[in-house]
A and B are shown apart, each in its own frame.
Chain A
Amino acid sequence: MATTAPRTPVIEIENLVTHYGRRQILHGVDLTIYEGEIMIIMGGSGSGKSTLLRFLLGLGRPTSGSIRMLGKDITQASPMEMHELRKNMGVAFQGGALLSSMTVGENVQLPLREHHGHLDEKTMQIMARLKLEVVNLGGFEDLMPSQLSGGMIKRAAVARAIITDPKMMFFDEPSAGLDPVVSAELDELILRLRDAMRMTIVVVTHELQSAFKIADRITVLDKGRILMTGTVQEVKASDNDRIQSLLNRRVSTEEIHAEEYLERLTMEARTP
């Protein structure tokens, strides 16, 4: 569907290079995400997909490259510009990241309370209930996060993320730690957010099943580089060896360099 619609880029990543300490994580990532599409960022552990998400969320300064969101380069943005932009970003973290000292309802209201202090109490409560209904958690607003199950926490986190009606929504491993049924419900929710609210959605995951179900396009990341970006069919049909081993759960066959291997064993290597 995303291919037929007129495409406005919402997120444009250009030649993004990042380091963790002295280790380079991302080696020049280029990626454009268009309005109203669900982009899945896929890759094995250590592929750099979580790092990419961190930088998309503006939680770190990259070594070089740019990330433009809604036309604004977040690597150059002033704190005030970033503050404005964040109102258009919703994030559902892997563990939900609800504030454990507050009830579910207070958690959902938090962004409103901080950014739209002029709203009166009743309005905020109604808005929070509305969003909790969207994620099928109506009536749970007085519970503490510790009283909810894993899937409910993630849905409550989604409710909090969409309370300000953001244009962009980010999911970090939405299916991690959930049983297949709950995970499927969350997939449905993500699809609903795109269709009903016209959100641009970025999902970082390594769950193939859910990725294939919800993706408009998939980006496969490996060792800090993009292997390919394409539709589900294109990715499935790819003849790239790394992609195929990821799809078919094959053990990757990496060549071992005898010299490096010896250096690792004897710890004589230069510092990384």
Chain B
Amino acid sequence: MAESSRRGALLALENLGRRSVAAVEEAGYVLALFAESVFWIFAGPVYKQPVRVPAVFTQMVETGIAAAPIVFILSFAVGVMLAIQGIHTLKTFGAESQVVVGIALSETREFGALITGILVAGRSGSALAARIGTMQVNQEIDALRVMGINPVRYLVSPALLAMLVMVPTLTFFADLAGLLGGAIYCALELGLSYSAYWDRTIEVLEVDDVTQGLIKSTVFATIIALIGVTNGFAVTGGAEGVGRATTRAVVLSISYIVVADMLFTYFLNR
């Protein structure tokens, strides 16, 4: 009895050790991948293997332009939601009109970036993992390598660049959509005119508020691209493996986004 429980504890400990090593290994891999893709972006032309600009634009359309409508709808809804909750809370103090300040600050500093990050993670992070995973299964990655085409330069760098441009752009767009949502609800509920809402928003907002959201969105962009790609490259075991990698990519990147959001918000507000 004691023997078997001792064995169980040892096994659990061994398992923990293995998992820790695997986690450290993966973190190292992600960092190396990041370094390599940045390397190709800058040093590619020197080695006569530049990152292809058309590939970057294709990715930008896929991750950015195509996501714009849904980003608009979600952020608009978040803006309305913020207005409802804000008015409800502020009613206690009889300060409903102050809701504009709340919407402006929370949308630009927090929700624009967060909603966009989560959405792009679900849309493009998963697509990236699935695409690279399928290529891995079909030996397309090996084919690229034997053709002398570095897969990181060919697949990862364009995706990273596209994310780094489009996620902040979408975030800014989301900020505007959220503010619009808030404005429309305030107009209906409080009878606040659009120009008054806009003036008040511009008055309270500082460049730093918007910048904070945009800085966070570049972090999210990096997370989404790297987690998606890492899981794609790690695919083994056919179609099922691709499915697993896609799910893992989405869950992990959303988790990392939320945690990173907390950390950055803490440090950016000190």
Question: Is there contact, CB below 8 Å, between B139 and A114?
Answer: no
Known A-B contacts A80-B47, A99-B135; the reply to A110 vs B147 at CB < 8 A is: yes
Report the Cα distance A35→B139, complex, angstroms: 27
A-B contact count (CB 8 A): 56
Does B89 make an interface contact (CB < 8 A)? no
Question: Is there contact, CB below 8 Å, between A97 and B148?
Answer: no
Does B146 make an interface contact (CB < 8 A)? yes
Does A91 make an interface contact (CB < 8 A)? yes
- Shortest A96–chain B CB gap in Å is 8
Known A-B contacts A80-B47, A114-B49; the reply to A97 vs B149 at CB < 8 A is: no
The CB with the most chain A CB atoms within 10 A, among B131, B140, B143, B145, is that of B143
Question: Is there contact, CB below 8 Å, between A99 and B140?
Answer: yes
Does B98 make an interface contact (CB < 8 A)? no
Which residues of A are found within 8 Å of B135, using beta-carbon distances? 99-100
Does A213 make an interface contact (CB < 8 A)? no
Can you name the residue of chain B whose Cβ is closest to the Cβ of A117? Answer: B48
Does B138 make an interface contact (CB < 8 A)? yes
Report the Cα distance A97→B154, complex, angstroms: 16
Question: Is there contact, CB below 8 Å, between B145 and A59?
Answer: yes
Does B209 make an interface contact (CB < 8 A)? no
Which residues of A are found within 8 Å of B139, using beta-carbon distances? 93-95, 97
Known A-B contacts A80-B47, A114-B49; the reply to A97 vs B145 at CB < 8 A is: no
Can you name the residue of chain B whose Cβ is closest to the Cβ of A113? Answer: B52
Known A-B contacts A94-B139, A97-B140; the reply to A58 vs B146 at CB < 8 A is: yes
Does B96 make an interface contact (CB < 8 A)? no
Which residues of A are found within 8 Å of B147, using beta-carbon distances? 86, 91, 110-111, 114, 160
Interface residue tally on A, bucketed by range: 20 to 34
* Interface flags, B213-239, vs A, CB<8A=1, else 0: 000000000000000000000000000
Which residues of A are found within 8 Å of B146, using beta-carbon distances? 57-59, 86, 89, 91
Select which of B47, B134, B143 is within 8 A of A91 by beta carbon. B143
Select which of A83, A93, A117, A157 is within 8 A of B148 by beta carbon. A83
Select which of B47, B138, B144 is within 8 A of A100 by beta carbon. B138
- Shortest B148–chain A CB gap in Å is 4
Report the Cα distance A82→B145, complex, angstroms: 10
Which residues of A are found within 8 Å of B145, using beta-carbon distances? 57-59
Does A194 make an interface contact (CB < 8 A)? no
Can you name the residue of chain A whose Cβ is closest to the Cβ of B143? Answer: A97
Question: Is there contact, CB below 8 Å, between A86 and B148?
Answer: yes
Known A-B contacts A86-B148, A99-B135, A100-B138; the reply to A93 vs B47 at CB < 8 A is: no
Question: Is there contact, CB below 8 Å, between B142 and A57?
Answer: yes
Question: Is there contact, CB below 8 Å, between A93 and B142?
Answer: yes
Report the Cα distance A99→B143, complex, angstroms: 9
Report the Cα distance A101→B135, complex, angstroms: 10
Report the Cα distance A80→B48, complex, angstroms: 11
* Interface flags, A152-165, vs B, CB<8A=1, else 0: 00000100100000
Report the Cα distance A198→B7, complex, angstroms: 63
Question: Is there contact, CB below 8 Å, between A115 and B138?
Answer: no
Question: Is there contact, CB below 8 Å, between A111 and B143?
Answer: no
Can you name the residue of chain B whose Cβ is closest to the Cβ of A87? Answer: B148
Question: Is there contact, CB below 8 Å, between A110 and B142?
Answer: no
The CB with the most chain A CB atoms within 10 A, among B47, B131, B142, B148, is that of B148
- Shortest B203–chain A CB gap in Å is 49
Which residues of B are found within 8 Å of A57, using beta-carbon distances? 142, 145-146
- Shortest B107–chain A CB gap in Å is 37
Which residues of B are found within 8 Å of A83, using beta-carbon distances? 49, 148
Which residues of A99-132 have CB atoms within 8 Å of chain B's CB atoms? 99-101, 110-111, 114-115, 117
- Shortest A157–chain B CB gap in Å is 8
Report the Cα distance A57→B144, complex, angstroms: 12
Which residues of B115-172 have CB atoms within 8 Å of chain A's CB atoms? 131, 134-135, 138-140, 142-149, 154
The CB with the most chain A CB atoms within 10 A, among B135, B144, B147, B154, is that of B147
Which residues of A are found within 8 Å of B134, using beta-carbon distances? 100
Select which of A59, A80, A95, A117 is within 8 A of B138 by beta carbon. A95
Give chain B's interface residues, CB within 8 Å of chain A: 47-49, 131, 134-135, 138-140, 142-149, 154
Beyond A59-B146, A114-B49, 19 additional contacts (C-beta under 8 Å) are A57-B142, A57-B145, A57-B146, A59-B145, A86-B147, A91-B143, A91-B147, A95-B138, A97-B138, A97-B140, A97-B143, A99-B135, A100-B135, A111-B148, A111-B149, A114-B147, A114-B148, A114-B149, A115-B148
19 CB-based A-B contacts, threshold 8 Å:
A58-B145, A80-B47, A83-B49, A86-B147, A86-B148, A91-B146, A91-B147, A94-B139, A97-B138, A97-B142, A99-B144, A100-B134, A100-B138, A100-B140, A110-B147, A110-B149, A111-B147, A111-B148, A115-B148
Give chain A's interface residues, CB within 8 Å of chain B: 57-59, 80, 82-83, 86-87, 89, 91, 93-95, 97-101, 110-111, 114-115, 117, 157, 160
Q: Ordered nearest first, which 4 A-B pairs have the shortest CB separation?
A: A86-B148, A97-B143, A97-B139, A91-B146
